[in-house]
């Protein structure tokens, strides 16, 4: 089945983002396929991360940020009047650029959010810890040290723990904001393998500055660029990754992926 | 020529800087010299645990005063710590920027009010209020605790607020991204992460409360008794020195210096603990 035949999990229509008076992203319209990996690529400062943060409304934390347009998770309006952002974020998990494990034990890092959602049964929590750590390939390393501080682990392990933490609340979508940029090559490889296996279950959207990574792991690619006159970020090209990297339709995409700028 | 000049100014600054350390040494040595002989004579155990303070009869026991200091300070902590921590959370996480701009200097102003003014306010407002509504003379543990609670607020609020603000932004983002509410994020991620700073704030606030003298002299009633309720009068270590130093001579004066030693040790211990806690945090 081609990635284009997959059902759209997130749909945006003319989505715009403003920081104060600055128009940051203009008219982003895209359908993000379910259970596939979509990569957002583009030069530094083009608004890749801002776009990612539009999906789970993390931009809400910035007082001057304002979004307009439409975005849907299935039939659920992300920017609807009655949308409760906490419910939205339970459906759309996020992994950040630098591993941001909380200063508490490995176990608590994973169980914190489920507990806040009302799961108090210890057996159930143990099950969540084991299954999420299994999914990120850390169960064998961590099963005897669950009570130890998470901050003592290596950056690669911390980042995989952050992924485990994100899937512990059973989201539909996982956002990854340059999640390998702070990791060594070996850890990067592990996280990339993890992305591929998670994509079977979760719709995954990644932001990456590495075109190699986008080419290696993603099914769809979105190329974003700021046009030089208006200084506004636009979606230049959005296509299956294989297609974009072999036969880019837009001249600017071609220039970027062949390394002529950016 | 240049190096000689540089040397000279360097020496001047060194001497000036040294003078503040010297002051600490001189004061410490002086108090110890004046007070230790009496503690040796009476015996440390008896000095601390005896509740009979009768300088006229040669009885020097500060047990009642130690108890008084502990109770009044605990009372201040019970009232002041929750208010202070809540206020710091509000300032760090909830208040809009405009409100923060009013609150922050206002709280600093609170720290700048002379303690005698706090005492005066306690005397004309808190003491009569307690007398009318709870009975007794009004001069009481409760009055002292209320006044002290307000006086320790600036310490607790500013240090707690800084320790919350200094947390990495990514903790908050990470917690919110997991679908936690703002309040869940505060109490289950941010407060535990800022714990050491908040504990240090509380300890420093308590140290301030134990050391305060003027304001509590005016509202405590100062009787050397073992109190039976929080509306009984009481005397603390600081007020004991403040009240009697003016006329004490000989052994009596030495006993007041010995009271000072006890106070000094307690406050030093609190400050060192607070510093140790915050330093441990930085190391990690």
Contact B179 A113 (CB under 8 A): yes
3 state DSSP class of A130: helix
A58-68: average pLDDT: 91
In this prediction, residue A169 carries a pLDDT of 93
Is B96 an 8 Å CB contact of chain A? no
Model confidence at A82, pLDDT cuts 50, 70, 90, reads confident
In this prediction, residue B29 carries a pLDDT of 95
Computed over every residue of chain A, the mean pLDDT equals: 92
The residue whose two tokens read 């407060």 is: B191
In this prediction, residue B277 carries a pLDDT of 87
Candidates A86, A162, A166; nearest CB to B181 = A86
Candidates B174, B176, B177; nearest CB to A102 = B174
In this prediction, residue B6 carries a pLDDT of 65
Give the pLDDT confidence of B155-182 residue by residue, as tens digits.
999 999 999 999 999 999 999 999 999 9
In this prediction, residue B10 carries a pLDDT of 86
H or E stretch covering A140: helix A139-142
Candidates B170, B171, B179; nearest CB to A169 = B179
B116-125: average pLDDT: 96
pLDDT of A182 above 80: yes
Contact A112 B181 (CB under 8 A): no
Give the pLDDT confidence of A139-148 residue by residue, as tens digits.
999 999 999 9
B230-245: average pLDDT: 94
pLDDT of B69 above 60: yes
pLDDT of A261 above 80: no
Candidates A88, A96, A151; nearest CB to B174 = A96
Model confidence at B3, pLDDT cuts 50, 70, 90, reads low
User: Which residue of B179, B186, B187, B189 is the best one to mutate when testing the A interface, meaning the one whose CB has the most A CBs within 10 A?
Assistant: B179
In this prediction, residue B4 carries a pLDDT of 56
Q: What percent of chain B has pLDDT over 90?
A: 86
For chain A, the residues whose C-beta falls within 8 A of a C-beta of chain B are: 56, 58, 61, 86-91, 93-94, 96, 98, 100, 102-104, 112-113, 116-117, 151, 162, 165-166, 169
The model's pTM is 0.85
Given a contact cutoff of 8 angstroms between Cβ atoms, the answer to whether A167 and A175 are in contact is no
Q: Quote the ipTM score.
A: 0.92
Model confidence at B284, pLDDT cuts 50, 70, 90, reads very low
pLDDT of B279 above 90: no
CA distance B91 to A228: 41
Give the pLDDT confidence of A44-53 residue by residue, as tens digits.
888 899 999 9
Q: What is the 3-state secondary structure (H, E, C) of chain B?
A: CHHHHHHHHHHHHHHHHHHHHHHHHHHHHHHHHHHHHHHHHHCHHHHHHCCCEEHHHCEECCHHHHHHHHHHHHHHHHHHHHHHHHHHHHHHHHCCHHHHHHHHHHHHHHHHCCHHHHHHHHHHHHHHHHHHHCCCCCCCHHHHHHHHHHHHHHHHHHHHHHHHHCCCHHHHHHHHHCCCCHHHHHHHHHHHHCHHHHHHHHHHHHHHHHHCCHHHHHHHECCCCCCCCCCCCECCHHHHHHHHCCCCCHHHHHHHHHHHHHHHHHHHHHHHHHHHHHHHHHHC
Contact A96 B192 (CB under 8 A): no
């Amino acid at each position: 089945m081609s990635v284009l035949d997959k059902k759209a999990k997130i749909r945006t229509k003319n989505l715009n983002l403003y920081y104060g008076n600055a128009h940051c992203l203009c008219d982003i319209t895209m359908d993000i396929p379910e259970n596939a990996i979509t990569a957002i690529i583009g030069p530094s400062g083009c608004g890749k991360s801002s776009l990612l943060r539009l999906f789970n409304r993390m931009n809400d934390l910035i007082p001057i940020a304002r979004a307009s347009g439409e975005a849907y998770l299935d039939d659920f309006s992300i920017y609807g009047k009655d949308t409760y952002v906490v419910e939205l974020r339970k459906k759309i998990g996020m992994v950040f650029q630098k591993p941001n494990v909380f200063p508490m034990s490995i176990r608590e890092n994973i169980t914190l959010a489920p507990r806040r959602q009302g799961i108090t049964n210890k057996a159930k929590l143990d099950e969540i810890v084991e299954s999420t750590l299994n999914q990120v390939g850390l169960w064998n390393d961590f099963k005897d040290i669950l009570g130890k501080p998470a901050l003592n682990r290596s950056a690669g392990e911390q980042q995989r723990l952050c992924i485990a933490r994100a899937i512990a609340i059973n989201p539909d979508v996982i956002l990854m904001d340059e999640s390998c940029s702070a990791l060594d090559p070996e850890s990067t490889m592990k996280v990339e393998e993890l992305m591929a296996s998670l994509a079977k279950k979760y719709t995954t959207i990644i932001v990456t500055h590495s075109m190699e990574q986008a080419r290696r792991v993603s099914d769809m690619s979105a190329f974003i660029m700021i046009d030089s006159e208006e200084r506004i970020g636009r979606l230049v090209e959005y296509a299956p990754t294989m297609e974009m990297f072999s036969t880019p339709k837009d001249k600017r995409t071609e220039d970027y992926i062949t390394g002529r700028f950016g | 020529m240049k190096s000689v000049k540089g040397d000279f100014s360097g020496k001047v600054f060194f001497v000036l800087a040294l003078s503040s350390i010297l002051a600490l040494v001189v004061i410490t040595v002086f108090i110890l010299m004046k007070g230790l002989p009496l503690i040796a004579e009476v015996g440390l155990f008896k000095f601390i645990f005896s509740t009979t303070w009768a300088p006229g009869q040669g009885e020097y026991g500060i047990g009642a005063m130690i108890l008084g200091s502990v109770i009044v300070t605990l009372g201040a902590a019970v009232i002041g710590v929750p208010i202070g921590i809540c206020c710091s959370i509000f300032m760090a996480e909830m208040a809009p920027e405009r409100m923060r701009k009013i609150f922050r200097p206002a709280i600093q102003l609170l720290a700048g009010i002379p303690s005698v003014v706090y005492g005066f306010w306690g005397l004309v407002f808190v003491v009569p209020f307690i007398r009318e509504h709870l009975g007794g003379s009004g001069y009481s543990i409760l009055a002292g605790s209320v006044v002290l609670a307000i006086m320790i607020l600036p310490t607790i609020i500013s240090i707690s607020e800084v320790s919350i603000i200094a947390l990495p932004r990514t903790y908050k983002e990470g917690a919110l991204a997991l679908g936690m509410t703002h309040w869940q994020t505060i109490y289950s991620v941010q407060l535990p992460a800022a714990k050491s700073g908040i504990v240090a704030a509380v300890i420093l606030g308590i140290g301030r409360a134990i050391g305060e003298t003027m304001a509590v002299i005016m509202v405590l009633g100062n009787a050397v008794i073992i109190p039976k309720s929080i509306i009984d009068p009481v005397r603390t270590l600081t007020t004991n020195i403040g009240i009697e130093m003016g006329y004490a001579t000989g052994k009596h004066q030495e006993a007041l210096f010995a009271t000072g030693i006890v106070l000094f040790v307690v406050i030093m211990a609190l400050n060192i603990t607070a510093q140790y806690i915050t330093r441990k945090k930085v190391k990690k």
